[in-house]
Structure 1
C-alpha cells in the first residue's frame, strides 16, 4: 500500500500531539508498520519532541485558530486541489496545518543541532560510543553510562564505577588546544593539539590495557606486571612496561616514540625494537630506526614551546597549523624542504610568531582569512 508522505507526516504529528482520532490513528499505525520512511519519521519525531523545545512548540499550537485563519485562502484558489478535495480536507485540514509548522520547526532545529555539533568540534570534547559529543571546554560534571567524568579547562578525571561491559570513549583535542586525561588505572596522558585518544572507560581483566592514539601525546603509565599497556597508532604499536614516554603519530608516514623512563617496545608487522631511556624510535622508509634524542626538544610542546633544529619548513608549518588553527599554502613549493632553526612560543599570537620567524630565518609568509601562505 502506498502512502501520501505529507498526509502521513501530518497524522504522525497529531499522534505525538495526542489529538488524533481512532480512525486516523489506525492509518498512522499501519504506515509505521509498513512504510520505512514513515517509521523513520515517527522515530525521529519521538526523539525531537521529548526535548523542552518540542514540548513548548506543541503547547503553543491552536489547530482551530489555524484552520479559521487559513480556510478563506483556500476558497480564493479556483479549481484547486483544496476545492476539489473538500471531503479530504474536512477531516485532515487541522492535521495538515499542524504538519506545516512542524516541518519548519523540525528542519530548523536540525540546522541548529548541526551548528551545535560544529561548535563542539572546535572545542575539546569527549565522544561516546553512540556518537554523542560532550563539550569539555568549561568546568562540568558529566555522567556517561556507569562513569562520572569531572572536566576542567585542562584536565579530565573520572570514576569508572561498576563494569557491566567495556565502554569506550574518545577524547578529541582540536587545533590550538591541549588537554590531559587520567585513565581508570591511574595512567596520565597529555594530548597535544589536533590529537585524539580512544580508551576504555574501565580497563577490564584482559591481558593488556589498550588505547588508540592519533596525533601526539605524553604518557605516564601506571605499572601493572599482570597487564601490559599498549598504545596503538596507524604506523606502529608501543608496548609499555610501566614508563614515561612521548609518541608522535600525526602522519601515517611519520612516527616517533621517545623513551624518558622505563622500557617500551615499538612493533610493526616486520619489526620489534626495544628502547632504553634516552632513545627514540622513528619510522623512516617504512623501517623502524633507533637513535638518541634531545628531551628538551621533544618534550617542549608540553610547556607551549616548540624547538626546531635544522628542520624542514614543512614540519614547522605543520606545527603552526595545529597550534594556531590555520591552513597552510605554498606559493613556492620548493621552500617547504628548506631547513631552519629556532623556536615557536604558543603563548604569543601567530602574528608575533611569524614576525619572529621572518626576522630570524628570512621566512616570508602572509596570513589572510585563516590561511598561512609561504612564499
Structure 2
C-alpha cells in the first residue's frame, strides 16, 4: 500500500515519471487499489475546485490524512456541508480521473514513438517500424521500413493533405518526400509537409528542430524550408538546418549547391558550399562564416560535436539525444563554453569529460540530470 500511496502522491503533484506511470497502471488492476485511487484523486480535484478553500489545510497534509490506515474521505473531517456538496462529485470525478489516467498513460507511452498527424486530426503511431498506406488498387502511397518513411510519386497525383511528422527525443528518422527530396530529422524535431506536391508550385515545408535536407533539383519549383527564425530557399542542394525553439540560435549550413537564407526585415544571405549562416535570437543578428560541414552533419552518424558552445545549449542537445531532462541548480553554469567531440558516449561519460575542464557536480536519475 505504501508504494501505491507514494505513486498517487507523485501523480497528484505532477511529479510522476513514465516508469512510475507504468507501475501505477499495473497496481490499478486491483479493484481495491482503483477505489483508493479514485478517492485520493477525487479529493484532490475537490481541493482544486476550492470546495474547501476556506480552510487552511495544505493539500499535502490533507493527502497525508487519506493515507491513515482505515481512513476514508469522511475521516478527514472538513466541514460537512462542503462534503455534502461535493460527495457525488468526488465519486464521479474519481471515475473521470481514472479514465483520464488511463488515457494519459497511453499518450505518454505513445510519445516514445514517431508519429504522423494528418490534416484530419488522425494520428498514426509508428510502433513496429512497418507502416503502409495503399490506394484502392493496392498501390503503395506511403511506406515505412525501419527508420525510413517513403512517399511514392503517386502521392503527387491523389488528394494532397498537410501532415506533421514528430520525432521523439532519443530517436532519428529519415523521410523521403513525394518529390524525391530526402530529409534526415534529428531527435525532438517536427516536420510539417504536404503528402504530395503540385506541378509548377513552390515546394514548402516547416521545420521545428534540426534536419539535413537533400533537395531534389527542380528549377520550376523552388523548395523552401520555413522555421520560426529563418527561411531557407533552394532549387536543389544539400544543407543542414537547425532551428530548435529552445536554442539561442538557428543555423543553416550548406554542403552542396546554393541557398538563400531569409528573415523578415533582414537582407537575404546567399551561401556557397562550406558556409554557414547563423542567426542569434538574443541580438537579432545574422553572421556568415566558412565552416567544416562535417561538424554540422555528424549527428546523422551518432556523433556529437560542440565548438565553443554554451553548456546551456549543449544541455539542450543532450536532452534530445538521451531523452532526459537536465536541470541546472546554478544557472551561471549554462554560460560556460566547451569544445568537444563524442562518438557513441553515454551521458555520464560526456558530463564527466566536461567536468575535467570545469568543476561542477551532477547527479543522474532515471529521467533527470541535476547539474550543480
TM-score, length of structure 1 as denominator length: 0.67
The structure 2 residue matched to 1:141, chosen from 124, 128, 131, is: 131
More deviation, 154-163/175-184: 154-163
Distance 1:145 1:111 in 2: 37
CA contact (8 A) 2:254 2:271 kept: yes
Q: How far is the alpha carbon of 1:340 from its aligned partner? A: 1.5
Structure 1 stretches lacking a partner, 5+ long: 1-102
Partner Cα distance (2:360, 2:317) in 1: 15
Match of 1:150 in 2: 143
Does the Cα contact within 8 Å between 1:177 and 1:323 map onto a contact in 2? yes
How far the C-alpha of 1:224 sits from its partner, in A, is 0.3
Match of 1:280 in 2: 276
Bigger Cα displacement from structure 2, 189-198 vs 136-145:
136-145
Aligned to 1:349: 346
Q: CA RMSD in A?
A: 2.6
The equivalences for 1:1-375 within 5 A come to: 112-143=102-133, 148-159=141-152, 160-161=154-155, 163-251=157-245, 254-270=249-265, 271-284=267-280, 285-345=283-343, 347-359=344-356, 362-375=359-372
Give the Å deviation of 1:328: 1.8
Tell whether the 8 Å contact from 2:156 to 2:198 is kept in structure 1 after alignment: no
Residue ranges of structure 2 left out of the alignment (5+ in a row): 1-92
Query: Max radius of gyration: which structure?
Result: 1
- Measured after TM superposition, the shift of residue 363 of structure 1 is 4.5
- The 1:186–1:358 alpha-carbon spacing in structure 2 relative to 1, beyond 3 Å, is same
Cα distance in 2, alignment partners of residues 259 and 317 from structure 1: 25
Shift in alpha-carbon separation, 1:226–1:108, aligned structure 2, 3 A: same
Q: Could you say if the C-alpha distance between residues 108 and 130 of structure 1 is closer, same or farther in structure 2, counting changes exceeding 3 Å?
A: farther
Higher deviation after alignment, 179-188 or 125-134: 125-134
1:201-259 Cα offsets, whole Å, 9 max, x none, are: 01112520000000000000000011000000001110012100000100375211000
Distance 1:233 1:144, change over 3 A: farther
TM-score normalised by length of structure 2: 0.67
SS at match of 2:197: coil
Aligned positions, number? 272
Deviations 1:314-361 (A, max 9, x none): 11111111111111211221111111121233x333233333333465
Farther off after superposition, 261-270 or 302-311 = 302-311
